[in-house]
Amino acid sequence: MIDPKSVTIIVPHLGYTKEEEYALDQCLLSLKETVSDIRVLIAKNGAECNHENFDVWVKEQDQGMAVNAAVSITDTKWIMVSNSDMIYPPGWWEKLTVDIEKPIDNPLVSQLKWCISPMLIEPRPGAPTFQVQMFGGAGGDFDKEGWLEFAENWPELKHEVMQIRTGFNLPFLIKRELWDTIQGYDINYRPWGSNADSDLEYKIRLAGIQPYQNTNCIVYHFSQSSGTGSPENKPYWEKNWHYFISKWGFERASSPTIWEANFEIPEPPIRKYTPIWEGKYK
Protein backbone atom coordinates (compact mmCIF):
# COMPACT_ATOMS: atom_id res chain seq x y z
CA MET A 1 0.00 0.00 0.00
CA ILE A 2 1.16 3.54 -0.73
CA ASP A 3 2.07 5.70 2.25
CA PRO A 4 -0.82 8.20 2.65
CA LYS A 5 1.68 10.96 3.42
CA SER A 6 3.05 10.65 -0.12
CA VAL A 7 -0.34 11.53 -1.67
CA THR A 8 -2.37 14.68 -2.24
CA ILE A 9 -6.03 14.43 -3.28
CA ILE A 10 -7.18 17.31 -5.51
CA VAL A 11 -10.92 18.05 -5.55
CA PRO A 12 -11.91 20.68 -8.15
CA HIS A 13 -15.19 22.37 -7.25
CA LEU A 14 -17.54 24.66 -9.15
CA GLY A 15 -20.16 25.24 -6.48
CA TYR A 16 -22.79 27.30 -8.29
CA THR A 17 -25.73 25.59 -6.58
CA LYS A 18 -26.75 24.20 -3.21
CA GLU A 19 -26.81 20.73 -4.80
CA GLU A 20 -23.12 21.04 -5.69
CA GLU A 21 -22.33 22.20 -2.17
CA TYR A 22 -24.19 19.22 -0.72
CA ALA A 23 -22.24 16.88 -3.00
CA LEU A 24 -18.91 18.39 -1.94
CA ASP A 25 -19.81 18.13 1.75
CA GLN A 26 -20.59 14.43 1.31
CA CYS A 27 -17.40 13.85 -0.68
CA LEU A 28 -15.19 15.54 1.92
CA LEU A 29 -16.92 13.73 4.77
CA SER A 30 -16.30 10.36 3.11
CA LEU A 31 -12.62 11.21 2.64
CA LYS A 32 -12.30 12.36 6.24
CA GLU A 33 -13.91 9.14 7.46
CA THR A 34 -11.73 6.87 5.33
CA VAL A 35 -8.34 8.55 4.69
CA SER A 36 -8.01 11.25 7.34
CA ASP A 37 -4.21 11.20 7.04
CA ILE A 38 -4.17 12.10 3.32
CA ARG A 39 -4.01 15.80 2.47
CA VAL A 40 -7.06 17.01 0.52
CA LEU A 41 -6.99 20.27 -1.47
CA ILE A 42 -10.16 21.96 -2.71
CA ALA A 43 -9.53 23.68 -6.03
CA LYS A 44 -12.28 26.26 -6.42
CA ASN A 45 -12.99 27.39 -9.96
CA GLY A 46 -15.52 29.95 -11.10
CA ALA A 47 -16.20 33.40 -9.62
CA GLU A 48 -19.65 32.43 -8.36
CA CYS A 49 -18.58 29.48 -6.23
CA ASN A 50 -20.37 29.61 -2.87
CA HIS A 51 -17.93 27.43 -0.94
CA GLU A 52 -15.91 29.49 1.52
CA ASN A 53 -13.22 26.94 2.36
CA PHE A 54 -10.76 26.31 -0.46
CA ASP A 55 -7.01 25.98 -1.00
CA VAL A 56 -6.76 27.28 -4.57
CA TRP A 57 -9.11 29.66 -6.37
CA VAL A 58 -9.14 30.06 -10.14
CA LYS A 59 -11.81 32.65 -10.88
CA GLU A 60 -12.30 31.37 -14.42
CA GLN A 61 -14.62 28.38 -14.89
CA ASP A 62 -11.91 25.85 -15.73
CA GLN A 63 -11.53 22.54 -13.90
CA GLY A 64 -8.24 21.69 -15.61
CA MET A 65 -6.67 25.01 -14.68
CA ALA A 66 -7.86 24.61 -11.08
CA VAL A 67 -6.37 21.12 -10.80
CA ASN A 68 -3.07 22.25 -12.34
CA ALA A 69 -2.91 25.15 -9.89
CA ALA A 70 -3.54 22.85 -6.92
CA VAL A 71 -0.91 20.36 -8.06
CA SER A 72 1.61 23.20 -8.36
CA ILE A 73 1.49 23.85 -4.60
CA THR A 74 2.13 20.20 -3.70
CA ASP A 75 5.33 18.16 -3.56
CA THR A 76 3.96 14.65 -2.98
CA LYS A 77 5.03 11.61 -4.99
CA TRP A 78 1.43 10.83 -5.93
CA ILE A 79 -1.53 12.96 -7.04
CA MET A 80 -5.15 11.86 -6.99
CA VAL A 81 -7.85 13.83 -8.83
CA SER A 82 -11.47 13.40 -7.75
CA ASN A 83 -14.74 14.99 -8.76
CA SER A 84 -16.44 16.80 -5.91
CA ASP A 85 -19.48 14.48 -6.04
CA MET A 86 -17.66 11.19 -5.48
CA ILE A 87 -18.23 9.21 -2.28
CA TYR A 88 -15.57 6.89 -0.84
CA PRO A 89 -16.36 3.77 1.25
CA PRO A 90 -14.25 2.39 4.10
CA GLY A 91 -11.15 0.53 2.90
CA TRP A 92 -11.14 2.00 -0.60
CA TRP A 93 -7.56 3.29 -0.34
CA GLU A 94 -6.15 -0.02 0.82
CA LYS A 95 -7.98 -1.86 -1.99
CA LEU A 96 -6.89 0.60 -4.68
CA THR A 97 -3.20 0.57 -3.78
CA VAL A 98 -2.67 -2.90 -2.28
CA ASP A 99 -0.06 -4.13 -4.77
CA ILE A 100 1.24 -0.92 -6.32
CA GLU A 101 4.50 -0.45 -4.44
CA LYS A 102 5.31 -4.11 -3.79
CA PRO A 103 8.67 -5.18 -5.28
CA ILE A 104 7.09 -7.59 -7.77
CA ASP A 105 8.98 -8.43 -10.97
CA ASN A 106 6.00 -8.30 -13.29
CA PRO A 107 5.52 -5.98 -16.30
CA LEU A 108 1.83 -5.54 -15.48
CA VAL A 109 2.47 -4.49 -11.89
CA SER A 110 5.12 -2.04 -13.11
CA GLN A 111 2.44 -0.33 -15.22
CA LEU A 112 0.10 -0.12 -12.22
CA LYS A 113 2.73 1.96 -10.48
CA TRP A 114 1.91 4.92 -12.72
CA CYS A 115 -1.85 5.42 -13.10
CA ILE A 116 -4.88 3.56 -11.75
CA SER A 117 -8.59 4.26 -11.18
CA PRO A 118 -11.31 2.60 -9.09
CA MET A 119 -14.57 1.37 -10.58
CA LEU A 120 -17.48 3.82 -10.46
CA ILE A 121 -20.99 3.09 -9.25
CA GLU A 122 -23.57 5.59 -10.56
CA PRO A 123 -27.32 6.11 -10.04
CA ARG A 124 -28.15 6.08 -13.77
CA PRO A 125 -26.78 4.44 -16.92
CA GLY A 126 -23.53 6.03 -18.07
CA ALA A 127 -20.24 4.63 -19.28
CA PRO A 128 -20.18 0.86 -19.97
CA THR A 129 -17.34 0.39 -17.47
CA PHE A 130 -19.52 1.73 -14.62
CA GLN A 131 -22.21 -0.15 -12.72
CA VAL A 132 -25.69 1.26 -12.09
CA GLN A 133 -27.01 1.25 -8.52
CA MET A 134 -29.29 3.93 -7.08
CA PHE A 135 -28.19 5.49 -3.81
CA GLY A 136 -29.50 8.98 -4.47
CA GLY A 137 -27.43 12.00 -5.32
CA ALA A 138 -26.83 15.69 -5.08
CA GLY A 139 -30.51 16.47 -4.56
CA GLY A 140 -30.00 15.82 -0.86
CA ASP A 141 -31.34 12.26 -1.03
CA PHE A 142 -28.04 10.38 -0.75
CA ASP A 143 -28.66 6.98 0.86
CA LYS A 144 -25.39 6.69 2.75
CA GLU A 145 -26.45 3.61 4.72
CA GLY A 146 -27.46 1.77 1.56
CA TRP A 147 -24.24 2.71 -0.18
CA LEU A 148 -22.03 1.56 2.69
CA GLU A 149 -23.88 -1.77 2.88
CA PHE A 150 -23.47 -2.25 -0.87
CA ALA A 151 -19.75 -1.43 -0.70
CA GLU A 152 -19.20 -3.81 2.20
CA ASN A 153 -20.73 -6.66 0.19
CA TRP A 154 -19.19 -5.81 -3.17
CA PRO A 155 -18.62 -9.26 -4.78
CA GLU A 156 -15.10 -8.48 -5.97
CA LEU A 157 -13.96 -8.26 -2.35
CA LYS A 158 -13.70 -12.05 -2.19
CA HIS A 159 -10.49 -11.70 -4.20
CA GLU A 160 -7.36 -11.31 -2.11
CA VAL A 161 -5.45 -9.49 -4.87
CA MET A 162 -6.59 -6.64 -7.08
CA GLN A 163 -8.77 -7.45 -10.07
CA ILE A 164 -7.70 -5.17 -12.87
CA ARG A 165 -8.60 -4.28 -16.40
CA THR A 166 -7.54 -1.50 -18.74
CA GLY A 167 -9.49 1.67 -18.07
CA PHE A 168 -9.41 5.33 -17.11
CA ASN A 169 -11.85 7.56 -15.27
CA LEU A 170 -11.99 10.02 -12.41
CA PRO A 171 -10.98 9.56 -9.73
CA PHE A 172 -7.51 8.53 -10.81
CA LEU A 173 -4.26 8.09 -8.92
CA ILE A 174 -1.22 9.18 -10.91
CA LYS A 175 2.48 9.32 -10.11
CA ARG A 176 3.70 12.90 -9.86
CA GLU A 177 6.62 12.20 -12.21
CA LEU A 178 4.21 11.17 -14.97
CA TRP A 179 1.94 14.17 -14.31
CA ASP A 180 4.90 16.54 -14.58
CA THR A 181 6.17 14.84 -17.73
CA ILE A 182 2.89 15.27 -19.61
CA GLN A 183 2.32 18.70 -18.03
CA GLY A 184 -1.06 17.93 -16.49
CA TYR A 185 -4.28 19.18 -18.03
CA ASP A 186 -4.37 21.18 -21.25
CA ILE A 187 -6.18 24.35 -20.12
CA ASN A 188 -7.41 25.13 -23.63
CA TYR A 189 -10.39 22.82 -22.99
CA ARG A 190 -12.54 25.52 -21.48
CA PRO A 191 -14.97 26.42 -20.21
CA TRP A 192 -16.31 23.31 -18.45
CA GLY A 193 -13.24 21.22 -19.28
CA SER A 194 -15.14 18.72 -21.41
CA ASN A 195 -12.79 16.42 -23.38
CA ALA A 196 -9.84 17.52 -21.20
CA ASP A 197 -9.88 14.17 -19.38
CA SER A 198 -9.73 12.37 -22.72
CA ASP A 199 -6.80 14.54 -23.77
CA LEU A 200 -5.02 13.70 -20.49
CA GLU A 201 -5.69 9.99 -21.05
CA TYR A 202 -4.22 10.18 -24.55
CA LYS A 203 -1.12 11.91 -23.20
CA ILE A 204 -0.66 9.19 -20.59
CA ARG A 205 -0.85 6.55 -23.32
CA LEU A 206 1.45 8.54 -25.60
CA ALA A 207 4.05 8.67 -22.82
CA GLY A 208 4.03 4.86 -22.80
CA ILE A 209 1.81 4.13 -19.80
CA GLN A 210 -1.33 1.98 -19.94
CA PRO A 211 -3.93 3.22 -17.39
CA TYR A 212 -5.71 0.49 -15.44
CA GLN A 213 -8.87 0.19 -13.37
CA ASN A 214 -9.02 -1.81 -10.14
CA THR A 215 -12.51 -3.31 -9.86
CA ASN A 216 -11.93 -4.41 -6.25
CA CYS A 217 -12.16 -0.74 -5.35
CA ILE A 218 -15.47 1.05 -5.93
CA VAL A 219 -16.49 4.71 -5.55
CA TYR A 220 -20.01 6.13 -5.76
CA HIS A 221 -20.53 9.05 -8.15
CA PHE A 222 -23.62 11.25 -7.93
CA SER A 223 -22.96 12.06 -11.64
CA GLN A 224 -23.83 15.14 -13.67
CA SER A 225 -24.11 17.40 -10.64
CA SER A 226 -21.88 20.13 -12.10
CA GLY A 227 -23.98 20.93 -15.17
CA THR A 228 -21.33 19.90 -17.68
CA GLY A 229 -23.84 17.76 -19.55
CA SER A 230 -26.64 20.36 -19.54
CA PRO A 231 -28.06 21.18 -23.00
CA GLU A 232 -27.06 24.85 -22.69
CA ASN A 233 -23.42 23.77 -22.38
CA LYS A 234 -23.41 21.61 -25.51
CA PRO A 235 -21.74 24.38 -27.58
CA TYR A 236 -18.79 24.31 -25.17
CA TRP A 237 -18.56 20.53 -25.50
CA GLU A 238 -18.54 20.90 -29.29
CA LYS A 239 -15.85 23.61 -29.09
CA ASN A 240 -13.63 21.39 -26.96
CA TRP A 241 -14.29 18.38 -29.19
CA HIS A 242 -13.03 20.31 -32.20
CA TYR A 243 -10.04 21.60 -30.26
CA PHE A 244 -9.03 17.98 -29.59
CA ILE A 245 -9.19 17.26 -33.33
CA SER A 246 -7.15 20.35 -34.19
CA LYS A 247 -4.51 19.43 -31.61
CA TRP A 248 -4.20 15.71 -32.28
CA GLY A 249 -5.27 15.52 -35.94
CA PHE A 250 -8.06 12.96 -35.45
CA GLU A 251 -11.22 12.36 -33.41
CA ARG A 252 -10.76 10.84 -29.98
CA ALA A 253 -11.98 7.30 -29.36
CA SER A 254 -15.68 6.93 -28.63
CA SER A 255 -17.41 4.82 -25.98
CA PRO A 256 -16.62 2.17 -24.82
CA THR A 257 -13.02 2.39 -26.07
CA ILE A 258 -12.28 5.75 -24.43
CA TRP A 259 -13.36 4.35 -21.04
CA GLU A 260 -11.49 1.09 -21.52
CA ALA A 261 -8.32 3.05 -22.44
CA ASN A 262 -7.27 0.45 -25.00
CA PHE A 263 -7.34 2.65 -28.12
CA GLU A 264 -4.56 2.91 -30.69
CA ILE A 265 -2.90 6.28 -31.24
CA PRO A 266 -2.14 7.05 -34.90
CA GLU A 267 1.41 7.81 -35.93
CA PRO A 268 2.45 11.02 -37.72
CA PRO A 269 1.59 12.48 -40.15
CA ILE A 270 -1.99 11.64 -39.13
CA ARG A 271 -1.15 12.62 -35.56
CA LYS A 272 -0.16 16.27 -35.28
CA TYR A 273 0.75 16.23 -31.58
CA THR A 274 4.37 15.07 -31.15
CA PRO A 275 5.75 16.14 -27.74
CA ILE A 276 9.39 15.54 -26.83
CA TRP A 277 8.39 13.15 -24.03
CA GLU A 278 6.54 10.77 -26.39
CA GLY A 279 7.32 7.13 -25.51
CA LYS A 280 9.39 8.06 -22.45
CA TYR A 281 8.05 5.14 -20.38
CA LYS A 282 7.64 2.50 -23.09
Q: What CATH number did the domain enclosing 241 receive? A: 3.90.550.10
pLDDT of the residue at 113: 83
The stretch 33-41 carries a mean pLDDT of 96
> Bigger pLDDT: 43 or 105?
43
Q: Is residue 162 one of the residues assigned to a domain?
A: yes
The stretch 220-226 carries a mean pLDDT of 78
User: How many domains is the chain partitioned into structurally?
Assistant: 1
Q: Is residue 185 pLDDT above 70, yes or no?
A: yes
The stretch 222-235 carries a mean pLDDT of 70
What b/e sequence results for 121-148 when a residue is b if at least 16 CB atoms lie within 10 Å of its CB, and e otherwise? bbbeebeebbeeeebbbbeeebbeeebb
pLDDT of the residue at 49: 63
Q: Is residue 67 one of the residues assigned to a domain?
A: yes
Q: Is residue 266 one of the residues assigned to a domain?
A: no
What are the CB-based long-range contacts (under 8 Å, 24+) for 251-258? 252/195, 252/198, 252/199, 252/202, 253/198, 255/127, 255/128, 256/127, 256/128, 256/129, 258/198, 258/201
Q: Is residue 26 pLDDT above 80, yes or no?
A: yes
Q: Is residue 149 one of the residues assigned to a domain?
A: yes
The percentage of the chain sitting over the pLDDT mark of 70, rounded to a whole number, equals: 88
Domain housing 99: 4-260
Which band of pLDDT confidence, cut at 50, 70 and 90, is reported for residue 101?
low
Q: Is residue 48 pLDDT above 80, yes or no?
A: no
**Taking all residues of the chain, what is their mean pLDDT, rounded to a whole number?**
89
0.75 exceeded by pTM = yes
The stretch 140-157 carries a mean pLDDT of 89
> Bigger pLDDT: 219 or 236?
219
Q: Is residue 280 one of the residues assigned to a domain?
A: no
Q: Is residue 102 pLDDT above 70, yes or no?
A: no
Close Cβ partners of 85 (under 8 Å, ≥ 6 residues apart): 20, 23, 24, 26, 27, 137, 138, 221, 222, 223, 225, 226
Close Cβ partners of 100 (under 8 Å, ≥ 6 residues apart): 1, 2, 109, 112, 113, 116
> Bigger pLDDT: 275 or 4?
275
Residue 147 main-chain phi, psi, to 5 deg: -65, -45
Distance CA 91, CA 151 (A): 10
> Bigger pLDDT: 20 or 88?
88
pLDDT of the residue at 107: 59
Q: Is residue 177 one of the residues assigned to a domain?
A: yes
Residue 34 main-chain phi, psi, to 5 deg: -120, -30
Q: Is residue 226 one of the residues assigned to a domain?
A: yes
pLDDT of the residue at 51: 64
Q: Is residue 281 one of the residues assigned to a domain?
A: no
